[in-house]
Structure 1
Amino acid sequence: MGRKLIAVLVFIFMLMPGQGFADKTSHIDKLDKLSDEALQMVKLHRYEDAKKLLEYFSEQFVAVNGKERPFTMDELRIVTVSHNDAVQATVNASMSHDERLNNVTKFRLVMDAISSNYQPLWTEMEKPIMAVFGDVKEAAYSGNNENFHSNLNSFLSLYEVIYPSMKIDVDAERVQKLNARINFIDHYRPQVLTQQASQQELEALESDLQTIFDEMTEDEADPSLWWVIISTGSIIILTLSYVGWRKYKGDKARQKNRS
């Protein structure tokens, strides 16, 4: 009985997701961790330490990409640009702390989007982004010029933080459509404040944004996790059924021998 239980546990362990690809994914996970550590340093105003971590990231990134090539061309371009922005944020003393934090956060979200297969971190920005966009709409409909410009600028800053990581996870055509609406609202601010037809772009943009966030977070569990639950559950049920059947046969045999 003990040997059978051990065999079942070993078999379940072998079925756990990611085991067969541990060597391949561990390098990307390490890069992801480095981006997080750099962000933590910036939060603490330790810009020099963040710079060193980002430089070390660059060395490791070149080594990983040269050996395994785990990145697509689009990913390479996005990582390179966001990494450069993050490095500049750690050395540019003229930037405010919030600007530095936004640039390094942007890089952090990019690496998470690449390493995550389920609900990337950038989707956690849904509440602040949708909240400030609601303020943009309210200011536009009430004709409050000052609040409209202020809230729209805040929205654009937040959107810029998630934009690179969104490009990794969302279809390019949908992102382009989103950008077209945002550019229209930004470029034609006076019309959006005064014309009902232009204000319809606000409703359309809000709907597009909400749809993207909903689609990225609609599943409550990783599909691979459900596969493991179903697979291991079936194995356990079959094993217990077999053990129960063997026990039943053994009991019947003992009763027969006593008779």
Structure 2
Amino acid sequence: MKRKLTICLLLALMCFITTAKAEDEGGLKELNDLSDTVFQMTRHSQYDEALQVLGYFKKKMTHVNSLSGAEVRQVTLGFNDLVRVLKQADASDTEKIRAAAQFRLVMDAMEDHSDPLWGSLERPIMATFSALKEDVSGNGSENFNEKWNEFISLYDLIYPSLTMDVSAGQLDTVAKHIEVIEQDGFQQMTKGTKLERLTLLQQDLKRVFDKVERDDADPSLLWVILTTGGIIITALTYVGYRKYRAEKKKEKKREYPKSK
């Protein structure tokens, strides 16, 4: 009798766990869909409506229990940043779209699949290296700075979502390469050394993207990201953009936690 009761209790517990897991996965998918809705609304300058959806998102998130502490912090950081930018009167349309796109990419990376949206940025990101190497070979520093800004603009955009899928070690390696290239001493290096540094960064970034299964990119998201990136590159000079990035980091006073 006791044995039958124990078996029944175990079966009931298994059913409860299975049901809870299914509900949790459904809740995570709903959050991902909501982030896409917010992104689409922001694209069309429907900022008040986007904020209303974010309010609903916040309520729904409290019912999803499968997220780790690091994941909750990442979502919360992106959520708060997006709400702040959408409410900020002097924030440009470009800033709002970028914040919405970044949040969309983070939520997409939350879902357990092998073709995250951030992978759709492989082509434009990796394509910048051909131009960078050509400029180094031809000593075109102005074009180099412009192309480097383009690369950094796109990489900064996907970085929070990368922390969801890529190991901290890989991201640290990429960060060290970027730091070397952004130092003033990089311009004093020989042509061969510059090309070597760029190649190392290119190879490590390729390893990051290699884990993504090749799939069709979200055309609307990719188009907006590329357009937004182009706007930023046109609007800001090299020195101005570096100052812009530094101020943004100082303003946030925090760093996205790495989940791996």
Question: Structure 1-normalised TM-score?
Answer: 0.70
- Per the alignment, residue 209 of structure 2 pairs with 213
Q: Does 1:147 align with 2:146?
A: no
Deviations 1:194-241 (A, max 9, x none): 54323311001111111221222269xxxxxxxxxxxxxxxxxxxxxx
Structure ID, larger Rg: 1
Contact conserved, 2:108 with 2:116, CA < 8 A, in 1?
yes
Is the Cα contact below 8 Å between 1:145 and 1:193 reproduced in 2? Answer: no
1:128 paired residue number? 124
Amino acid at match of 1:103: A
- Provide closer, same or farther for how the CA distance between residues 80 and 214 of structure 1 changes in structure 2, counting only shifts above 3 A: same
Q: Is the 8 A contact 1:192 1:198 kept in 2?
A: no
- Where 2:89 maps in the other structure, the secondary structure is coil
Distance 1:36 1:71 in 2: 19
**Relative contact order, CA 8 A, sep 6+: which one is greater?**
2
2:48 matches 1:48: yes
- Look up the SS of the partner of 2:211 in the other structure: helix
Unpaired stretches in structure 2, ≥5 consecutive residues: 1-17, 216-260
Where structure 1 has 5 or more consecutive residues not aligned to the other structure, the ranges are: 1-17, 220-259
Percent same amino acid at aligned positions?
Answer: 33
Aligned to 1:117: 113
Instruction: Select which of 72, 79, 93 maps to 1:97.
Output: 93
Shift of 1:189: 6.5
Letter of the 2:39 partner, please give it: L
The one of 166, 169, 180 aligned to 2:165: 169
The SS at the match of 1:216 is coil
Aligned pair partner of 1:184 in 154, 174, 180: 180
Q: Tell me, yes or no, if structure 1 residue 38 matches structure 2 residue 34.
A: no
> What whole-Å deviation, never above 9, does each CA across 1:151-209 have from its counterpart, x for those lacking one?
11111110011111111101111111111111211224652775432331100111111
List 4+ stretches of structure 1 deviating above 4 A.
Answer: 18-21, 192-195
Is the partner of 1:116 in helix, strand or coil? Answer: coil
Count of aligned residue pairs for this structure pair: 199
- Greater helix proportion: 1
Distance 1:190 1:204 in 2: 14
SS of the residue 2:115 aligns to: coil
**Aligned with 1:158 (options 154, 159, 169):** 154
Residue type of the partner of 1:205? Answer: L
One-letter code aligned to 2:63: V
CA RMSD of aligned residues (A): 2.4
- Rounded to whole Å, the distance in 2 between the matches of 1:140 and 1:193 is 11
- Code of the aligned partner of 2:43: K
- 2:80 is equivalent to residue 84 of structure 1: yes
Q: Spell out, residue by residue over 1:48-83, the C-alpha distance to the aligned partner (whole angstroms, 9 max, x if none).
A: 21122122212222x224xx2x11122122111111
Task: Please tell me the residue identity of whatever aligns with 2:119.
Answer: T
Amino acid at match of 2:53: L
Conservation of the 8 A alpha-carbon contact between 1:129 and 1:155:
yes
